[in-house]
Amino acid sequence: MPIKVHDQMLRSTVVLETRDPGRIAMYVCGPTVYNLIHIGNARTFLWFDFIRRYFLYRGWQVTYVMNYTDVDDRIIERAGVEGVPADAVTSKYSKAFEDDMAALGVNPADIICRATDHVEDMVEAIDGLVERGSAYESDGDVFFSIESFDAYGKLSGRTLEDMRAGERIEPQAGKRHPLDFALWKSAKEGEPSWPSPWGPGRPGWHIECSVMSTKYLGMGFDIHGGASDLTFPHHENEIAQAEALAGAGPFVRFWMHAGLVQMESQKMSKSLGNVVLVRDVVARYPGEVARYWALAGSYRTQLTFSDGVLDDSAQAYDRWSTFLAAARHALGGDMPATPAATRPADAEPPEGPGGEYVQRFTDTLDDDFNSSGAFAVVHDLVREANRCVEGAQRGPGEDRNLLIAFTETFLELTSVMGFRFDAATGSDELTARLIDYLLELREGARRNKEFAAADGIRDRLESFGVSIEDTPVGPRWRLGTPPAAA
Ligand SMILES: [Zn+2]
């Protein structure tokens, strides 16, 4: 089955036909590096991380480009507030962004491009736009003339009248049309600036993305992603710049937008100013729980954030880690590693007991990344696999073989989703052996009717976050999710 994606330009779900067969060139608008990112920003980056992982899993070659906006009014403002140069602000918050992404298990893009490293390219593009009559200079600033670009509004589906009414943009001195936007801003005293034919200044925000994306991916690249609030004006402006400069389109083959995150509780907005930082979330929940929350619903929907929904995600995620700990305990040295599997669409159908789950997983994700379906497949797999655990614990036989196969499939599917179960449970080999050994001591104490000693071992283990369940075939343990701080 071919992969289908929802294209914002067509407003429908269509087969993903790429410029070059088997290859995907994708660009996602990255952060403006002037503050700590919130969980709403993170959802977009988690999603495109997942989308990239899925393409790779399906056997595509992916080039993923992301920008860091490191020249912007907000950066200059922040530098003033912190009393430091602008580049101190941007290096501090680039690093913070990377730390937050690492905490969520988001892999860096293949190419990360910083606006300030590409100002010459942008000056050249702006110069080209002026030459073609798509842009004009006014007192050291350069504006894009939206009336020069007939297709302006095609992505967001708005007419000029809609935009003018909706955005309430005030006319600005020097602009020919109120919606004309700045490609180049003349420098004010003390601001970072670069030389240009129009005098010292800095590029506008929109021009950096069209220039850097086409520099690394060429015109007509496959996927341009970002949060849905970038559709207008940012992505609309990128299209106008790129297609006006090239003299033809399309700039991008498929536009994919991630839905926004809505805050639920009034309480949260009071104490945290209506934004919840990634940092605050990962201090209270494992990064995997935030990932679970972000990916379990379709990328296109608006998602609500609250402590309650994170608790729900923690519980659901816990069912997976509980299963894995049980499997690890039952299988011991037969525990499979995460397979480095790829499942290209034209490959043989997956075999073995887990094959049916792999098939369902790819079928649902091929359909515009229907992740809620994919999460349901993994839960179904875990339910079936759990039924084999007790039998597997008794020794060789059918249940044990099934459990090995199901566990391997579980690791395959969850690693495509970006979960790191090998590391996430924290039960590396030595930890697992030590816990098993302590439980043997506890069993010995119980056999000798030394119940106080047995309970003591249990209490101590539980105080370390190891929860123990006694089953007919012996105790089972797992490392629990750290309790959420009050
Ligand atoms: Zn952008």
- Whether residue 427 has pLDDT greater than 90: no
Q: Exposed, middle or buried, 359 (CB in 10 Å: 0-12/13-18/19+)?
A: middle
pLDDT (0 to 100) of residue 266:
46
What is the C-alpha separation between 16 and 4, in angstroms, rounded?
A: 5
Q: How far is the CA of 29 from the centre of ligand 1 (A)?
A: 4
178 contacts: CB under 8 Å, gap ≥ 6: 164, 169, 170, 171, 172
What is the C-alpha separation between 280 and 258, in angstroms, rounded?
A: 22
- Whether residue 465 has pLDDT greater than 90: no
Band of pLDDT at residue 431, cut at 50, 70 and 90: confident
Per-residue pLDDT tens for 296-317?
999 999 888 888 899 999 999 9
* Token pair 């899925």 in the structure block, residue: 54
Per-residue pLDDT tens for 250-286?
999 999 999 988 887 544 344 456 788 999 999 989 9
- Whether residue 473 has pLDDT greater than 80: no
Per-residue pLDDT tens for 85-104?
999 999 999 999 999 999 99
Q: How far is the CA of 23 from the centre of ligand 1 (A)?
A: 22
- Whether residue 28 has pLDDT greater than 90: yes
Tell me: cis bond preceding 233? Omega within 30 of 0 counts: yes
- Whether residue 119 has pLDDT greater than 80: yes
Q: How far is the CA of 111 from the centre of ligand 1 (A)?
A: 14
Q: How far is the CA of 208 from the centre of ligand 1 (A)?
A: 7
Q: How far is the CA of 238 from the centre of ligand 1 (A)?
A: 8
Residue % of the chain over a pLDDT of 90: 76
What is the C-alpha separation between 225 and 213, in angstroms, rounded?
A: 11
pLDDT (0 to 100) of residue 168:
58
Q: How far is CA 332 from CA 67, 325, 411, 437, 480, in A?
A: 45, 10, 16, 13, 19
Q: How far is the CA of 387 from the centre of ligand 1 (A)?
A: 48
Q: How far is the CA of 116 from the centre of ligand 1 (A)?
A: 14
pLDDT (0 to 100) of residue 483:
42
Q: How far is the CA of 224 from the centre of ligand 1 (A)?
A: 9
Q: What number is the average pLDDT over the span 8-26?
A: 96
Q: 398-416 vs 371-386: helix axis angle to the nearest 10?
A: 160
Radius of gyration of the chain (CA): 27
Q: How far is the CA of 235 from the centre of ligand 1 (A)?
A: 7
Q: How far is the CA of 113 from the centre of ligand 1 (A)?
A: 11
Q: How far is the CA of 48 from the centre of ligand 1 (A)?
A: 14
Architecture (CATH level 2) of domain 265-425: Up-down Bundle (1.20)
Task: Name the residue with higher pLDDT: 435 or 49.
Answer: 49
Per-residue pLDDT tens for 189-205?
888 999 999 999 999 99
- Whether residue 423 has pLDDT greater than 60: no
Q: Which residues of the chain does CATH 1.20.120.640 include? A: 265-425
Q: How far is the CA of 410 from the centre of ligand 1 (A)?
A: 36
**DSSP codes joined into one string, 403-470:** HHHHHHHHHHHHHHTT--HHHHT---HHHHHHHHHHHHHHHHHHHTT-HHHHHHHHHHHHHTTEEEEE
Q: Which of 69-73, 198-202, 346-350 has the lowest mean pLDDT?
A: 346-350
At 407, the amino acid letter reads T
The SS3 assignment for 155 reads: coil
pLDDT (0 to 100) of residue 1:
74
Q: How far is the CA of 374 from the centre of ligand 1 (A)?
A: 29
Q: Which residues of the chain does CATH 3.40.50.620 include? A: 4-259
> What class, spelled out in words, does domain 4-259 have in CATH?
alpha beta
Q: How far is the CA of 199 from the centre of ligand 1 (A)?
A: 25
Q: How far is the CA of 276 from the centre of ligand 1 (A)?
A: 23
Q: How far is the CA of 64 from the centre of ligand 1 (A)?
A: 14
Q: How far is the CA of 214 from the centre of ligand 1 (A)?
A: 12
Q: Mean pLDDT of all residues in the chain?
A: 91
